[in-house]
Amino acid sequence: MRQPLIAGNWKMNLVRDEVVSLLDALVPAVDGVEDRDVLVCPAFPYLALAAERLSGTRVRLGAQDMGWEAKGAFTGAVSPAMLADCGATDVILGHSERRHVFGEDDAMIRRKVGCAIDAGIRPILCVGETLDEREAGETWAVIERQLTGGLDGLDAAACDTLTIAYEPVWAIGTGHTATPAQAQEVHRQIRGWLAERFGDAVAARTRILYGGSVNPKTIDGLMAESDVDGGLVGGASLKAADFAQLVNYGRNG
């Protein structure tokens, strides 16, 4: 059984007092939830602060990005050792905003994935198509290319801690969410690709999250699908009550 994961990507939002307020409200709201994992990903400057507020809780800490080298002359980059030193256990890589806003390509993302794995940081590899690509019938071709490029050369053992997040670009921050059936179709294809590439055992244990305007109204339908193992949540993760509802999907009355 794959334990569901609800992950919050705070993006470039919240300053110190807001981080404290959000976490202090969120932690008791998800206390006692043991059959699903919870992850929050603040901006770099607040990782250590968040780690302090989350100490002793079941809520894990992640980062939104990472450099691809252990150390060196890379101005503005953050190494996996720095993330771990701040308490981060997970890192989001290849998010569509990194791809489309900052110009990261599959080769760059692959280097980051490998660096995270080598450092013992759990990578969450994001894949997803634009609206034009979906309307052109290219959804799977795009995602297969991103999977192939992002995981090139890795073996089954290296993928032991891998999580995949399917985030259709047309649904991120737009209020448009893929239907449960649309999400399930892509997740099923991703799991099939993992089985062909790394074997049935890897495919069976790898969590595949859905991301793209996930909110309390859509979470139950998405999580009812057999290959949807959780959510990578943007805007709704910035409100403790909304994120707690997502974590407690299926139990909100």
Residues with a known catalytic role: 95, 167
Residue type, 12: M
Q: How far is CA 43 from CA 16, 19, 20, 110, 189, in A?
A: 10, 10, 13, 22, 32
Residue type, 76: G
The neighbour count for residue 152, using CB atoms within 10 Å, is: 12
Q: If we measure between CA atoms, which residue out of 214, 240, 250, 252 comes closest to residue 40?
A: 240
Question: 214-223: which pairs have CB atoms within 8 A and are 24 or more residues apart?
Answer: 214/177, 214/246, 215/177, 215/242, 215/246, 216/242, 216/245, 216/246, 216/249, 216/252, 218/177, 219/245, 219/246, 219/249, 220/249, 220/250, 221/179, 221/180, 222/177, 222/180, 222/183, 223/4, 223/249, 223/250
